Structure 1
Amino acid sequence: MMLRRRCGLLDFLTYFLSTACAVIFVLVCTILYGTRTQHPHLPAVVQGVLPAGRCLCEYSATFACDTCLDCAAAPPISGNATSDADDWVFSYRRDGSNYGLREDQCEAAFPGLFEDIARAKKHRQTKPNVSEQELSSFELTKGMVRAMIFNGELYILDTFLVDNVNREKAVSALATLHRALVSAPDHGSVPNIEFVFTVEDLPAQPQKPLWVLARRANDDDLWLIPDFGFWSWDMEQLGALSEVAAEAIQRESVEPWDQKQEKLVWRGKLNFAPKLRRALLDAARGKSWSDVGQVRWGDPDFKAHFVGPVDQCNYMFIAHAEGRSYSGSLKYRQLCRSVVVSHKLQWIQHHHYLMKSDGPNQNFVEVERDFSDLAAAMDDLITHPEKAKRIADNNVQVFRERYLTGAAEACYWRALFKAWKEVSFEPVLYNGVEAGEKHARAQKRGVRYETFMLYEPLRQMDFPASAKMAASSSS
C-alpha cells in the first residue's frame, strides 16, 4: 500500500513538472514571437503576455522646473542688440550657430536648459566629491570613453567601443564636446576635469557618476549630455542636426502649415519597444487621421514606407514613442512646424525640461503611455486648428529656433564642465611624478583629441590597448 502511494506521488510530481515545463516553454516562445515579430497584428493572448521591457508601464517623468519656462518658451527676439549691450537678447538668425556665447549670454538665452546639471550637482553635493579612485573603481563597458580636459585641451584616456556604430557615436560625442571647448570665449576659464561618458542607450551602471545620453527620474547619479546626433549621424536623410533644421526650414518655406497633411505620422521599428509601440499602432489603426506604420529595414520596399525627418514636416502631427530607452528621433521631430504627440516619457534627455504639455506656451501634446486617449487628443486638435497651429509654432520657437541650436548645445557643455569641476577632483596630465619635476613624454596620460581623430577605427575602439599593440608591431 505504501509503495503504491509513493508511486502515485511520483507520477503526480512528474505530471506536474512536465506540465509546468510545457507551460513555461510555450510562454517563452510566445514572448519571443511577440517581441521579435514585425507583423503589425498580434493575437490578444500574445499582446497580453508581452513584457514592458525596461520601462515601468505606470511610471513617467514629470518636470517641475525651477527656472522661468514661460520666459524660455517666449519667441526669440530678432533685435539689433549687440553682444556688448546690457540688454542683449538672443536672435536665432544671428546667434543660433554662435558656439562662443559668453556664460551670461548663455544664461539669458537658454533659461531652463541647465536644470539637470543643477540637479546632478546638488545630488552629488550630498556625497564626497568624485575622486580619481571612484572613476577607476569600475571597468569601462560597451560604449564608454574616459577623457580629460587639461589646460583647455581634450585628451582621450581610455575607450571600450565594440563596433563601428559604437565608435561613430563616441566620435560624434567627442566632436561636439571639443567644439564647445575650443569655442569658449574665455578659454583660460575652462576647468581641468576628468570624466567617463557612455553612448549606449541604456546606462549599464546607473549608480556610478557617469555622463549619459538619457536617464530615468530615479537615476540620480547620472549626468546628462547632448546625444551624438547633435553632431551628425551617418544615416540616410540625416546628417548634421543643423543641416536637417535648414532643410526643414526650406521645405516649410514652400509647403507652409496650411498645405501640410492633416494626419498623424510615425515610422519606427516595433521590436525596439514592442509593447509601447504596438499600442501606438493599435490606437491609430483605421483612423482617418492616421499615417502610422512601422519600418522594416531589410524589406525590398523599405524606401516606399520610409518617412525621413524632413518628410515628416509635411504632416501637421508627428507621433513620438520611446525605444530601447529614449528615442533620438524626438529632436528631429521638434525641428518641424508640426504638433509633436508623445506618450508620457520615462527617459529624460537634457532638453526635455523645456517640453510643456499645457498652457499658452504649450509646445507638444501629451497622451497616456498606452495611447488610450490618442483618438480623443487627435479629435481635439483637428476640431481646433487654431490650437494646433499655436502648439506647432511654439514647438518651432522653443526648439528649432532656440534649444536645439548649436549655440544652446555649446552652452550646455560648458555649463556641465563648470558644474562637474565643483564636485570632482583635479586631474593630472602626467602619471607617477610630482608637480614641478621634468616630465618624460612617455609619462603623459592619454592622447590629444586631434591625434585620436587620426587613428584608424580599430585603434580608436580599444585605446590605449590598441596603441600598445600598434607600437609593438612597428618595433
Structure 2
Amino acid sequence: MVYQGELFVVDSGKPERCYVTNGNERERILGTLAQIDRALSSSPTFDPSVPNIEFSLSLDDLPRRSRGKGTFFGYTRKEGREYNDIWMMPNYAYWSWNYTHAPSWNSIRKEIEQRETQLPWAKKDPRVVWRGKVKMAELRKELVRVSEGKPWSDIKPVVINDAADPHTKDVMNLRQFCGYKYTVQTEGTSYSGRLKYLQLCRSALITHPLEWQEFHTHLMRLAGPDVNYIEASENFGNLESAMEYYQVHDDEAERIARNSYETFARRYLTPAAVTCYWRRLFWSWASVQGYEPQLYVPDEQGNMVMRGTPWTAFAANWPKDPAIIP
C-alpha cells in the first residue's frame, strides 16, 4: 500500500514457498520494494503526491505460479487476453542482483559504460557470444548445436558452481559480453534476466521471437531507422546466414548496436527512467482502483490499528514479523 506518500507492506504472504527453486526471495522482495520507495521519495516537489493505492505483487518468473486470480503487478507476461490482468513492473535487478555479480544497477551501468568508452566497435570481437544453462529451454540446446565449431561463434553452455564440470571454466561476467559485436538473448523459464544487461552494451543483440514481455520490450524495433536488434528464427536455424550477412554489412550491425545503446542504456533503462515508469504505473493504477485504501482499521476492542507495516521496518526485520517487537 502507498498511503500519503509512504510505502507499507500489508501482507507478505509466504514467499519462501514460491521461490524454493530460486533461493533469492529476499533479493526479489527487497529489490522490488526498494524501487517503489525510491519512486515515492524522489517524486519531484512540483508533482502532486502519488495517490493512495493498494496492490498485489507477483515476484515469480512465472507470475501465475504465485497467484491464479486477481489483478496484480508482475515482472513479465505473455501477449493475449488471458494476461491482461498482469500489470508489468520493473524486475528486482534494477536495484540489485548479486547472483550476476551486479551489486547495484547503477554500478553495473557505470562499469559497462566505462568499458564501452575504451572499446570502440572496430576493436570488438567480431563473433557472436552466449553463455547459459541449456537445460532451461530446448531452444538453448538448438543454439549450441547450430553454432558449434563455427568460426563466427563463441557460444558455449555453462554449468555454475561445479568445479568438476568442464563447462564451469566458460562462465563469463556481464561486463565481458560487451567486448563482442554480437550478443544472443534466449528465454528460459520465462523471460530472461540477461536482456537488460545485454542492452547496456553497444553490441548488436540477436534474439529469437520473444514469447515473454517485460516493461520495456515494446521499445525493441526490428526494422526502420530505429532498428535496435536482430531477430533469429525460433530454433536459431538462420543464425549462420545472419552472421554471414552482417559480417559483410558491418556498418548495418554497428547502426543496430548504436541504436540499442542509445535507446536502452542511455535513455529508457537509466535509474531515472525506471523510477519514472514506477510513478506512471502508480497513477495509472489509481485511475482504475475504484476505492480508497484505509491504513487504519478498528481492532476487536475498537482501537484504530495500522493494517500494514512501514517499508522501513519490514526491510530491517524481514523475514521476521516486524509487528512483534521484543
Deviation at residue 303 of structure 1 after TM alignment: 5.8
Alpha-carbon separation, structure 2, partners of 1:410 and 1:364: 25
Deviation at residue 359 of structure 1 after TM alignment: 1.4
Please state whether the residue corresponding to 1:194 is helix, strand or coil: coil
Larger Rg: 1
Partner residue in 2 for 1:54: none
Alpha-carbon separation, structure 2, partners of 1:413 and 1:236: 24
Cα contact 2:124–2:181 (8 A) shared by 1: yes
Deviation at residue 285 of structure 1 after TM alignment: 1.4
TM-score (norm 1): 0.63
Partner residue in 1 for 2:121: 257
Amino acid of the structure 1 residue aligned with 2:297: N
Equivalent residues in 2 for 1:47-196, closer than 5 Å = 148-159=1-12, 160-162=14-16, 165-186=24-45, 188-196=48-56
Equivalent residues in 2 for 1:381-460, closer than 5 Å = 381-424=246-289, 425-432=291-298, 440=304, 443-455=305-317, 457-459=318-320
Amino acid of the structure 2 residue aligned with 1:295: V
Alpha-carbon separation, structure 2, partners of 1:322 and 1:353: 16
TM-score (norm 2): 0.91
Cα contact 1:280–1:370 (8 A) shared by 2: yes
Please state whether the residue corresponding to 2:297 is helix, strand or coil: coil
Please list every run of at least 4 consecutive aligned residues from structure 1 whose deviation after the TM superposition is greater than 4 angstroms: none
Cα contact 2:135–2:141 (8 A) shared by 1: no
The structure with more strand, counted as a fraction of residues? 2
Alpha-carbon separation, structure 1, partners of 2:292 and 2:43: 20
Deviation at residue 350 of structure 1 after TM alignment: 0.4
Cα contact 1:149–1:194 (8 A) shared by 2: yes
Matched, 1:289 2:152: yes
Alpha-carbon separation, structure 1, partners of 2:135 and 2:287: 41
Alpha-carbon separation, structure 2, partners of 1:239 and 1:270: 25
Q: Could you tell which deviates more after superposition, 412-421 or 177-186?
A: 177-186
Cα contact 2:96–2:104 (8 A) shared by 1: yes
Query: Which stretches in structure 2 are left out of the alignment for 5+ residues?
Result: none
Query: Which stretches in structure 1 are left out of the alignment for 5+ residues?
Result: 1-147, 460-465
Deviation at residue 325 of structure 1 after TM alignment: 0.3
Q: 1:208 aligns with which of 70, 75, 82?
A: 70
Partner residue in 1 for 2:222: 357
Alpha-carbon separation, structure 2, partners of 1:242 and 1:283: 36
Cα contact 2:72–2:85 (8 A) shared by 1: yes
Deviation at residue 237 of structure 1 after TM alignment: 3.0
Cα contact 2:58–2:75 (8 A) shared by 1: yes
Alpha-carbon separation, structure 1, partners of 2:260 and 2:104: 20
Cα contact 1:356–1:363 (8 A) shared by 2: yes
Please state whether the residue corresponding to 2:189 is helix, strand or coil: coil
Amino acid of the structure 1 residue aligned with 2:319: L
Alpha-carbon separation, structure 2, partners of 1:302 and 1:151: 52
Cα deviations across residues 179-199 of structure 1 (Å, max 9, x unaligned)? Answer: 011111146421100001011
Please state whether the residue corresponding to 2:98 is helix, strand or coil: coil
Alpha-carbon separation, structure 2, partners of 1:408 and 1:199: 21
Partner residue in 1 for 2:135: 271
Deviation at residue 302 of structure 1 after TM alignment: 6.1
Please state whether the residue corresponding to 2:221 is helix, strand or coil: coil
Amino acid of the structure 2 residue aligned with 1:252: E
Structure 1 pair 236/165, CA: closer, same or farther in 2 (3 Å)? same
Deviation at residue 368 of structure 1 after TM alignment: 1.4
Please state whether the residue corresponding to 2:44 is helix, strand or coil: coil
Alpha-carbon separation, structure 1, partners of 2:68 and 2:183: 31
Amino acid of the structure 2 residue aligned with 1:451: A
Cα deviations across residues 164-190 of structure 1 (Å, max 9, x unaligned)? Answer: 511211100000111011111146421
Structure 1 pair 398/295, CA: closer, same or farther in 2 (3 Å)? same
Matched, 1:220 2:84: yes
Q: 2:111 aligns with which of 247, 251, 260?
A: 247
Amino acid of the structure 1 residue aligned with 2:315: M
Alpha-carbon separation, structure 1, partners of 2:110 and 2:118: 13
Amino acid of the structure 1 residue aligned with 2:296: Y
Alpha-carbon separation, structure 1, partners of 2:282 and 2:256: 34
Deviation at residue 253 of structure 1 after TM alignment: 1.9
Deviation at residue 342 of structure 1 after TM alignment: 0.3
Taking every aligned residue pair, what percent have the same amino acid on both sides? 36
Q: Number of residue pairs matched?
A: 310
Higher RCO (C-alpha 8 Å, min separation 6):
1
Alpha-carbon separation, structure 2, partners of 1:158 and 1:302: 42
